[in-house]
Every structure is written in C-alpha cells, then in structure tokens.
Structure 1
Amino acid sequence: MTDTTKTLCPYCGVGCGLEVSPPAQLGKAINRDGQGDPIWKVKGDRNHPSSQGMVCVKGATIAEAIDKNRLRYPMLRDSLDEPFRRVSWDEAYECIVHRIQSVCATQGADAVCMYGSGQMQTEDYYVAQKLLKGCLGTNNFDSNSRLCMSSAVAGYVQSLGADGPPCCYEDLDLTDCAFIIGSNAAECHPIVFNRLQKHHKKNHNVVKMIVVDPRRTPTAEVADLHLAIHPGTDIDLLNGIAHLLLRWGYFESEFVSECTANFPAFAEVIPHYPPEVVAKRCGIAVEDLETAARYWGTSKRVLSLWSMGVNQSTEGTAKVRSIINLHLMTGQIGKPGCGPFSLTGQPNAMGGREVGGLCNLLPGYRHVQNAQDRAEVEQFWGVPAGRISPHWGRTAWEMITGLETGDVGLLWIVATNPAVSLPDIKRTQAALLRSPFTVYQDAYYPTETAAYAHLLLPAAQWGEKTGTMTNSERVVTLCKAFRPPVGEAKPDWEIVAEVGRRLGFADKFPFTNSAEVFAEYVQLTRDRSCDMTGISHAKLAQSPLQWPCPDTWANNNSKRLYTDLRFATPDGRARFSAYHSKGLAEPPNSEYPFVLTNGRLYGHWHTQTRTGRIEKIQQMHPQPFIEIHPRDAAKLEIQEHDLVEVRSRRGKAQFPAKVTKAISPGTLFVPMHWGALWGDETEANALTHPECDPDSHQPELKACAVQLSLVVQKTNINQTEAYPQYPRQFLPTAF
C-alpha cells in the first residue's frame, strides 16, 4: 500500500481528521517503535471540516502504540487462578455460544450482559444491539458512555425533545460569549478550544469567555471571568444567573411565549436564588456573579460548552437542563454562534447514542419504553412482536451489582477497561472476580480488566478495520483501514455477528462487510431527528457528512438544529425545567473535610491502554499527582512532592503532592488515568462512589468526600517498572 489514507482520530469526541502514510513513504530512515515495528506517519487532514488539519499530541502519536503489547490470538482459561492458553477462533466461538445458551436456559436472557464503549465504531454498536435487544430479547447492553454523556442525552431529550447537540464548530468562530462550565477543554478537547481561543484572542474587545471550574485550569487561564465555584453548586450558579437576567430584563418574552413550555414552574424557582445567597453558596463574589449574568444578557450570541464536570453528577440531568434554561429564556438557540453544546467525551459516543448503544435506547434515537419505537424496530429486524423488552436493561453499575447478587451469568466486555474506570473500583474488582464467565474483547494485553477475564478475544483496532464514527458536531466520518489486523484479530462487529449466526440467527447477520452493516442501520434513522439515510460508506469516502442528512435532500445543509425554532417535542415547544440545587451526594464533613475531583491530562486518554504505551506521552506525564491549595497544605504540613495518602469511605490512594493556587481551598484534584497496571495505589476510582443521577443513571465520578494525610516527605513515586504487581500469567511474555 502506498497511498495516504484518510481516517479519524480515535481519542476524544472532537473528531479530528487524520491522514496516515505507510512507513515505506518515509524513505530509508524508517522510524520504529520500541519493538522494531515501523511507525506509520500521521498528520492532520486539512480537508476535514471539523478539525481543518489541526491535531493534538494524542492524535499525532497514535501510530506509535499500534503494534505494542497487542492481543493477537484468542486465549481461554477455566478459572481466574489459571494461566491463559491459546485457542482457535472456532473454539472461542463455541465457548461463547455454549455459555450464552446455558445462561439463557438456566437464568434467562436477562442474565447476559454486554458492556461496550465509545471506542466502538457505529457498525460494531449496531450489530451488538441487534444481537442482544433483537435476537436474545435483553436490553442489557450498556457502554462507558453511561459514565460520560448520558446526562447530556437525558437533558437534551427532556428539554428539546431529542438527543443531539444543536450547535456546530463554526459557532466557535461566531459567538460573542462562550460560557464554559465543567470542562477543561484546553486539555480534554484541545482542537475545539484552540479554535475558540483564536476567535477570542482576535476579537478580545467584544468576545467574552466565562469559565466555571473549581480549578484554575489552562482553560480558565485565558478566560475573561473565572468562577471558581464550590463543587456541587452549579445549579445555584445557573439559577442565580437566571435570577439576574430576569431582574434586568434580559428575557425574550416572545420566544418564551411561542416556542417554550413550563416557564411558570421555572419562574417559581428562580426567586429563591438572589445574588447574595448564590454568591455565598458558590464561594464567589457577588460582583463576579453579576458580571457573568451581564456578559450573558448583553451578548447576541451565547454558546455554552460543557463536559464531564456537569454530566458526572447526581444532578447531571438537572445541570444540563439548567444550562438550557438560560438559552431558552434569552432565545439563544437555533441561530449561528449560540446554543447549548455538550462536548462529547469519546470518539464515537455520539454514534453509540444514535444507534441505541445504551440500555434504555434503540437505534434512531428510539427508547425501549416506547411501544411504537419497539414495534418499529422489531418489524424492521424481523423479530417476533414483543421480543424487545419494554424495560431498561442493566446500566454499567447495575451489571456490577448483578455480579454481586448472582443475577448476571455472563459478562461480555468490549473495548473498555472497567477494572479501572468504574466507580468504587475495589468493589467493582471484587464483583468481577465473582463473574461466572467474562469475555473480554480488546486490542491490547495486558490491561487491568484482562486479569478478571476467562476468555480474551483479539480485536482489530484503529487502522485495521473500516467503519464510521460521529463527533460532537454530528459529523460522520469514515475511518478506513490502512493495514491488516495483527495476528488473528478481527473487527468487533464481525465477532459479534458470528456469535449471532452460531446462536441460530444467521438470517439476521448476512453482512459481508461494514458498509452493508451501515447501509442497514441508517434505514432505522429515516424520518428521525438523526436521519442519516443520505449517508453511505461510498459518500463518506468522498467527504465526511453531518446529520440530519436524509436521502431526500439534494444538499447537506444541517449545521444547526432547531433553526425554525420548532423542537422535537410533541407540540414543538422546548421545555423549561424547574430544579432546586441539592448539592453533592457525598458532601465533606469533619471526618472527610475535602472534596476530591478528578479529570484528564492533556496527553493521556482514559486508562492509558493506548497512551501508556507511547514514550512521548509517558515523558509528558510520568506519574499522577494530587493538587492541593497552599492553605490546606500548610495546615497539614505538606510540601511539594511529599507523598500523601487520600482516603474516602471506600478506599485509599497515594500521590505526590502538587501544591498550587490553581485549586480552590477545600478541593483536591487527581488525574483519573492511572490503574493498577501503571502504579501502586494510584487509582482515583478507589475513592469514588457509585451514587448516580436518577434520570441518566450517570455516576457522580467528579466529587467525593476524602481526608488527607502525609505519608513520607520528599518521595517520588517510581513508575519505571512496567507491570510490577501483575502475576506472571498476565504479562505479555505469556504470549
């Protein structure tokens, strides 16, 4: 192969286009990774509409991990205390099929669970939905998007009638007020933020940027106004801004009257949030609250941006809807440069939402509890009426509790690492140890979750399979394979489809390639808000396309949703919500006086399954740390680099101290990337709790109450040993 291949970065939801060139084009001096494999050359695709050639360090170095520590063959063991043995794909398939049939016969289909990932391509997601929800009749497919974007989904659906961010990246160049809350976009969505920052810097006299975050992040550093609120006071702040907007007359009465509903209920709530009360609760100055409200009220185009700091909360849905309330009362939606814009965490979390990749969803933004939605999908799939369950399946956390109670008989994990990423990780790990049978389908080995698996299935990863992904602005990109899979690895959709055939559903999985899978799937989006019937692999090979894109449109012109100010509700009106602030699920007290929050670092991605194997990124972020304000450090006699222990009601972890004024007093921060594979007692989720939002069922990973103590002074954690605590059977040399 000599041609350059256009594809998509498989990290965050920005969805940056990449161009990949084979090593042979680099000349005689071929760059190689640490295992001697030639490294493919990666650069930004200047013609991609979302990223315009820009790329961050993760995308630029992606090829350096493609051949490191790969899972190459199916591996099986009878119990977790035995070493893996290599088996054929035929043996692996028969093992899965036998286990599923046995569990269905003895416990019922609802004892089968699959836990997927926003790393999966849309085609992978779709085949999995068809197998579990359509063929087996269980809605027990959930994904790590439950930990990521499910509050945004619930908020959009409840306020606007349907999921889907109504904005586009062009709005970053047009807004005159960017309101960023619960997002360190400079590190977590750097290409989006770079574009916004460029616009802000060029028009600094007229464009304002507000950042709401208890940390003074790189995002907050460039803001006109940084509101370092206490964790858990987001709704207080948002209602306080609404209070001032109404008091000062920044209110679009005609829009509210003609295009919205439920404003009276909202109007009863906001008088309870006067500036003095809100400022005290949030820990900010009244003057700063008033400045934020005035920036919003006087701006013609307000764009709000948020991510995990809003979503990962027991009030996540309420926070999202409270943001949308501000847009509705000021008419800031459906127009260029404005609107509520959730920044998706994963590369295909949007595609997963579109295809029904959560336990309460069906393809085409349908819902399992809606009888008409179920009937439409059953008819399309050709399964008996009533086959799709009318009840939510198990969420990610409910799969863990189901293992604890014995109600889950088989757990199939795809492209994610729950032994690090789920809350209350020691409890999670203990539950995984109780699993009667766990299938783990991934590209890399070892990972922390592999230690809890009975069957390992090697998956083709980025660059080794062709499929589609949807980014935060609803742009669908074709991710083309540019090399064959390593060893015996296969695309995820092919693995799931073959299991479906061997279970007796061969007629439901006739696909010979991913283009056929996508062509079937998009028919389920017809006349839905996410209509993609005008999109195909062939068209995407020419250029990415943004939905809605029905096959009846001559030209794709879908940058923004709701431009006619008619929403996806039965009466076409957007819905105001009326929420009082409830605060944190686990507030600090005298025994646990600090609030711990967590998040990403610029170079790393999730649990380091890929980035942990890239030397440049490891040099950027050699070890985790804990941020502590100088005032708090002085009280505990903690100095820079001192090793400190953090304890919550569930567990403990140790980190070197980073004493900084960038964190608010009483609040601590740790990065969330380190699991047992990369360090000893550095797991952020050893501390977090599983309490979740009542609507979205998204856990409050962003805040828990902790205590802090000094372990030993001036000690650095040594991260140089590769896999210090893994038994021999889990090491790569076992292969």
Structure 2
Amino acid sequence: MSDIIKTLCPYCGVGCGLEVLPPAQAGRPTTRASDGVPIWQVRGDRDHPSSQGMVCVKGATIAESLHKDRLRYPMMRRSLDEPFERASWDEALDRIASEIQKISVTDGPDGVCMYGSGQFQTEDYYVAQKLLKGCLGTNNFDANSRLCMSSAVAGYIQSFGADGPPCSYDDLDVTDCAFLIGTNTAECHPILFNRFRKHHKKSRAIKLIVVDPRRTQTAEAADLHLAINPGTDIDLLHGIAYFLMQRGKIDPEFIEECTSGFSAYAEVVQHYTPEVVSRRCGISISDLKKAAVWWGESDSVLSLWSMGINQSAEGTAKVRSIINLHLMTNQIGRPGAGPFSLTGQPNAMGGREAGGLSHLLPGYRLVGNAQHRAEVEAFWGVPAGRIAAKPGRTAWDMITGLESGDVKLIWVAATNPVVSMPDIDRTKAAFRKSPFTVYQDAYFPTEMSAYAHVLLPASQFSEKTGVMVNSERRVTVCPAFRTPPGEARPDWEIFAEVGRRLGFAKQFSFNNAAEVYAEFAQITRGRPCDQSGLSHGFLRSDGPKQWPYPKGKTVSSERLYTDLRFHTADGRAKFAALHSRGLAEPPDDRYPLVLTNGRLYGHWHTQSRTGRIPKLVKMHPEPFLEIHPKDAARIGVQDREWVEVRSRRGTARFPVTITQGIAPGTVFVPMHWGELWAEQAEANAMTHSAACPDSKQPELKACAVQLVPVAAIKVQADAEHHKYSLQSARG
C-alpha cells in the first residue's frame, strides 16, 4: 500500500523496523487513542533485517503518545521563581545567542555546556558537535549516553583500537552459547531476546548462561543462572578464564599471532581460583565450572551485556574482561561469536559515530589526538587550534561545574537529568544554581522543565527526518510523516540557527537533514565507522545498511574483524591485566544491603512518553522494591508493606515485593519514576556519582542502603510527638 511509511522505533537500541499507517484509510476503521484522538497505526516491518517484523508493546503503542502534553511554543522567564511566558522563536534564540556571546567573552567557552541524548538523530548530534566543538571551541558536549554505554566505548577502544560492536544480530540465530551478563535482555531488549529464544529452543545443545543477582525474565529462560553478588563480575570472568587455562581450552596460535599482553593477563587470572571466585561471587564451584566448560566446548560463543556491566566504577575493566575471554578462545570475527554490547537508546550508536561525547570527535576520532583535531578543523573550515586539546566536561562534571559556578550556561536537550542522573538531590540543587538553563524537549511538563529559564519545543519521532543507528551498526533513515505540533522544530535546525546567529552562517547553511547527513557521511570517510557510501536517498531506496559502508561498497558489513586484524598500531587486539576492585560503595553495618535498579518491560527511561500511554501505565502502575524473604524477615516487613530506603545521599519509599528471585543482601527498584509520576520514589535519590576512571560512567547500578519499615517510622514519629506534647504541657 502506497501510504505505508517505513521507519524505526524510537525506544531502545534494538532498532526495530516499524510500518506506520495513517489514522484514516479506505476500508479500515480509524484507530483512536484513549482520549478519542485519531492515531497512526503501528506494526512491525517484516522487511527490516534487524527485527524481522517483531515489535514490543512500547513500539506498538508509540503513536498514542505523539500528541499528548506537547511543548508547542518557546517559553521564557528570568528566574526559576517566575512563571513561563510564551515567546517567539526570534526572542528565544536571540536570548540564547546573546548569553553564549556574553559568556564566551567574560568567562571563555568553557562556561558553556550542552547535555544531549541518545534519542537524537545522527543529524542532531552532528550539528551540535560542529556548533560547540568546532565553532565555539568548547568540548563541553556530553550526552546521557555517558550514563549508558561509555564503558563499552572505552573497552572496545582499549582492546581493539576503535569503538564499534563487532557482531550482528544474525549471530543470535547461529551461536552455540549465549553468555548474557549485566543485561535483562527479555525486558530491556525484548525483540533481540525473542529472536535468540527461537534459536535456543531448536536444540538442547544450544546453551544460555545468564549472570544477574536477580532471577529476571531473562534468567528464567537460562540453562545456567549465575546469581553473583553485585560487583563481582570481574571475579567471575577471571574465574572462567582460570578454568579455560587449566583445561587447555584456549587458542595459543591466535593469541600469539593476533593479540598482545596475554602473559600479564594470565598472571592475574592465577589469583582467581575456583575457591576464591566461589566465595566472592556467592556461587558454587560446580556452576562456575559448568559455565567455563560450556564456553570452552562451544564452537561459537556470543556474549551480550548492557547497563549491569557499563554502569560501574570499573565498567571499562568489566568490558575488557569479557573481551579477554573472547580473545583467549578466538571467539570473534565469525558467525555466532563475539563480544556484543547492547546499547540502551535508539541512536546511542549514531552519537558515538558523530562524536557525541566530550572526548570524541566525528568519525571515531578522539579530542586528545592532534591529527584528529586538525582533520576535523580543516573539514569544518574553522581556524587551526579552534578545537580544544583536552576533553570537555562529562555529564557529572557539568553538575559539579554548576555547583562551583564555573558553568554559566547549560543547554539540555531530549533528556531528563533531574531524574536520570546519580545523587539526584545534589543534581537538582546544582541546576537550581544555574545562571542560565535552556531546555529543549518534545513534552511539557517534565521534571527538568522546572529548572529551565528557556524552553524550546522540539519535534520528535514522526515529525522530523533523520538517521538512527542500532546496536548492530545498522543505519536506517526515519522519515517525517506528521506535522509537528505548534511551532516545534527539529533539534538540528535549532542548533544550526543559533550557530548562524553567532556568526557561523557558512558552517550551518544546511537546507534539510539529508544535507546534514551527507556532510557527516563524508567526515567518516576512511574511518572505522565509514558511511561515505550512504545517503538518505540510498537508504530509502535500498534499505538499512550496516557500517562500515564506504563509497563503492555494495553489501553491508555484517561483522567486524573477520580478518583478525584490529585498529591498533600493530594490528593486534590487546588483553587487559586488571584485578577486580569490587563495588565503589560496598555494604557495611550501617548500610547492609546493596540497591540495584533497572528497566521494566513496558516503561522507558523517565516516562516522558510511556507515562502518557494508559496501556503501559496499567502494566506498571507503581514502583516497588524487590527483597529476598530472609532480608524481609530480618527487618520485619510483609509483602506490599512500605519501606523507606536510605543511603548516604537520600531516601525514597516503596511497597515491597518479597521474592526468591533476588539474591539475599540485594534489593531492586525500577528506575522510571520521577516526582511527576510518584511521590518520593526516585531510584537515583540513593545512587552515588563514583565513576569508572576510564569511561567516566557512574556506578548507577549499585549503592549501599538500609531499609526501615514505614510503620516503624510512624510509630517513632508518634512517640516523639507525644513526648514533645507532654514537655509542652509541663512547661
């Protein structure tokens, strides 16, 4: 049918293909949202190679949120105590440009920051890099991808010499052993998990190993579930390596010819005997041995990980420890094998390619590399030396910069940091100190809008054309198919217009998103993520393609490193000899439990979309806390009773769900609820800002907490009130 639009789901990094149909079509009844508004119909695209027609409940209901609670016009105010007033685009953009000019003169470009999002399209990312890094001369662009996959980026770069997942989703269909660690794939990347499960069910010889302190939906399907203690991932991985070495299940020829650093790694592994690993991880030696045997005896092993690995104070070391296992057994560069990080957001991959973190430049270049800076400066037509030689502020550095007064302007777009950042009370206090905050989003209100001086209405999925790249490096063009509400504009157009007002008309002379992508594709020429053979027109006519796809190429690059040569100076992959350091904040007598957090199947990030879709709210109507029966008995709480969770930074309250599906000593809460959706239920009220020294990714997945039954708090409060009343009466 000619009116079917092919596009991509804007939620997770799986990148599912969607087909979208208008709300009214001859011979078909009109579909309406719960509020009676006609909506577009959405279904899976059978032709999209990544998802093969499958779609989860979030993708299937995406159209229901597109018209709800939208920010339609620019709004401004002088202080956070004043109400917003509607403004014209000229007024809003002139004010932003004026503030940037003033700060650049009085404080220098380091006083300006932008915090972006893995929900940007590649064109949005690219224009933002050009504006800040190329024209303004500050590398202070970071994105919520810093909280998502920056440890995977660092791990790939250190081990292989360049970023980029080497695997393909087709590997899910042929692997002999899937090793899932730090990922609840069934809920967080459900279409990928469903695809693997079809393969898994074909033969008992195909193994699924799941490593997670919780017995998640993913773990329920496992042949082996290793419920390790939080923070012991490296211990486990080295313990598996110990068994593989002891039994000769390594590939000496590959190690000798294609890698470096093995001897130092092997020396580290000798410290991780089965007895040591069993004690630290809280698992049996027999289960540890079984995992090693399955890895060693499988012809192809595919490891997958996500936030449970990346969001750690030793996230990069964990990633490299996974890669080490692949290198020692030559499990890379062929079907069904390889280390595969699953990105959390729809275009976090595209952001990496566009240089969308404070230490990156477009085309998998690095800020710290003088040649890379010179290449980009020449391409952008900016003076030599314009791009600063040191990385800019990371997401958390922006918060501390607001605290110290060094950050004078922060521009937040397509993300909600006052819910998603660690140590949320501190984050909110920092934003309250901000001299000037621009907030650019599609929805209003969100929690972040309360901290803005200027609000800019952004068009979103369905309303702008651009490219997104999923976890298997597959590039898909997503067309606009509906009119943005009010005066909403694409993010890249907003950035470009500010650039023109700052005097950079030549650098921002784009007429449409296709021109932006064409320029970006050329800056990737010759780089590991080469997309010079791609364009909007080609992707529309020929379908999604996996990079590298240089000019002249005719087929997608399904896998990387098939020739076993890597992007390092000597062409060898590098082993990492790193010991486990454990949690940045281990439990103690005062805070005896480890709190972890994660996604639920029906919600997405901070609910800016999903909280407005009744079907999804009904699936997950309220937050909760999972706790093991032993821990519940110890603190004296029954199922559905309320507890207060306390860390060194803040508190929250949840009804408890008592379950055998979580390890003793560990509790879990979902991360989706901010103050707009529930009272005092923010997961990040408790988390801390300790971060991986290499990736700068915070350890959002674990912090030490204590639990106090809310009934006990009430009894104590009543007693204190009674005591005060008696004293007052006597006085």
| 1:106 alignment counterpart | 106
Secondary structure of the 2:503 match is helix
Distance 1:179 1:116 in 2: 32
CA contact (8 A) 1:158 1:575 kept: yes
Distance 1:271 1:474 in 2: 36
After TM superposition, the structure 1 = structure 2 runs for residues 10-21 of structure 1, keeping only pairs within 5 Å, are 10-21=10-21
CA contact (8 A) 1:229 1:283 kept: yes
Secondary structure of the 2:597 match is strand
CA contact (8 A) 1:466 1:480 kept: yes
**1:15-40 Cα deviation digits (max 9, x unpaired):** 00001101112757423224442111
Shift of the 474–606 alpha-carbon distance from structure 1 to 2, 3 Å rule, reads same
After TM superposition, the structure 1 = structure 2 runs for residues 519-668 of structure 1, keeping only pairs within 5 Å, are 519-542=518-541, 543-553=543-553, 555-668=554-667
Shift of the 426–114 alpha-carbon distance from structure 1 to 2, 3 Å rule, reads same
1:479 paired to 2:478 = yes
Per the TM alignment, residue 268 of structure 1 is displaced from its structure 2 partner at its CA by: 1.1
| 2:292 alignment counterpart | 293
After TM superposition, the structure 1 = structure 2 runs for residues 72-111 of structure 1, keeping only pairs within 5 Å, are 72-111=72-111
**1:194-222 Cα deviation digits (max 9, x unpaired):** 0111111112x210010000000000001
* TM, length-normalised to structure 2: 0.97
| 1:24 alignment counterpart | 24
Distance 2:611 2:402 in 1: 29
**1:544-566 Cα deviation digits (max 9, x unpaired):** 1110100032x114100000000
Count residues with an aligned counterpart.
Answer: 713
Secondary structure of the 2:640 match is coil
- Which letter does structure 2 place at the counterpart of 1:344? T
* TM, length-normalised to structure 1: 0.96
**1:587-621 Cα deviation digits (max 9, x unpaired):** 00000000000000000000000000000000000
Secondary structure of the 1:578 match is coil
- Which letter does structure 1 place at the counterpart of 2:488? A
Which stretch has the larger CA shift, 609-618 or 30-39?
30-39
- Which letter does structure 2 place at the counterpart of 1:699? P
CA contact (8 A) 2:635 2:709 kept: yes
| 2:213 alignment counterpart | 214
CA contact (8 A) 1:123 1:493 kept: yes
| 2:266 alignment counterpart | 267
| 2:244 alignment counterpart | 245
After TM superposition, the structure 1 = structure 2 runs for residues 265-344 of structure 1, keeping only pairs within 5 Å, are 265-344=264-343
- Which letter does structure 1 place at the counterpart of 2:446? T
CA contact (8 A) 1:359 1:393 kept: yes
Distance 2:635 2:597 in 1: 21
Secondary structure of the 1:505 match is coil
| 1:224 alignment counterpart | 223
CA contact (8 A) 1:2 1:24 kept: no
**1:518-555 Cα deviation digits (max 9, x unpaired):** 000011111111000011000111201110100032x1
What CA RMSD, in Å, does the superposition of the two structures yield over aligned residues?
1.2
CA contact (8 A) 2:15 2:50 kept: yes
Distance 1:620 1:83 in 2: 35
- Which letter does structure 1 place at the counterpart of 2:635? L
Q: Identity of aligned pairs, percent?
A: 70
Distance 2:432 2:25 in 1: 47
Distance 1:28 1:296 in 2: 51
| 1:437 alignment counterpart | 436
CA contact (8 A) 1:421 1:685 kept: yes
CA contact (8 A) 1:11 1:605 kept: yes
| 1:138 alignment counterpart | 138
Secondary structure of the 1:506 match is coil
- Which letter does structure 1 place at the counterpart of 2:118? G
Q: Which runs of 4+ in 1 moved over 3 A?
A: 26-29
| 2:122 alignment counterpart | 122
CA contact (8 A) 1:97 1:502 kept: yes
| 1:68 alignment counterpart | 68
| 2:723 alignment counterpart | none
| 1:719 alignment counterpart | none
Secondary structure of the 2:502 match is helix
Secondary structure of the 1:674 match is coil
- Which letter does structure 1 place at the counterpart of 2:57? V
After TM superposition, the structure 1 = structure 2 runs for residues 41-56 of structure 1, keeping only pairs within 5 Å, are 41-56=41-56
CA contact (8 A) 2:596 2:701 kept: yes
CA contact (8 A) 1:35 1:68 kept: no
Distance 1:59 1:333 in 2: 32
| 2:460 alignment counterpart | 461
- Which letter does structure 2 place at the counterpart of 1:72? R
- Which letter does structure 2 place at the counterpart of 1:68? K
| 2:9 alignment counterpart | 9
| 1:187 alignment counterpart | 187
| 2:410 alignment counterpart | 411
Which stretch has the larger CA shift, 22-31 or 420-429?
22-31
Shift of the 653–522 alpha-carbon distance from structure 1 to 2, 3 Å rule, reads same
| 1:396 alignment counterpart | 395
- Which letter does structure 2 place at the counterpart of 1:21? L
- Which letter does structure 2 place at the counterpart of 1:196? F
| 1:728 alignment counterpart | none
Distance 1:620 1:516 in 2: 42
Secondary structure of the 1:712 match is helix
CA contact (8 A) 1:2 1:22 kept: no
CA contact (8 A) 1:183 1:309 kept: yes
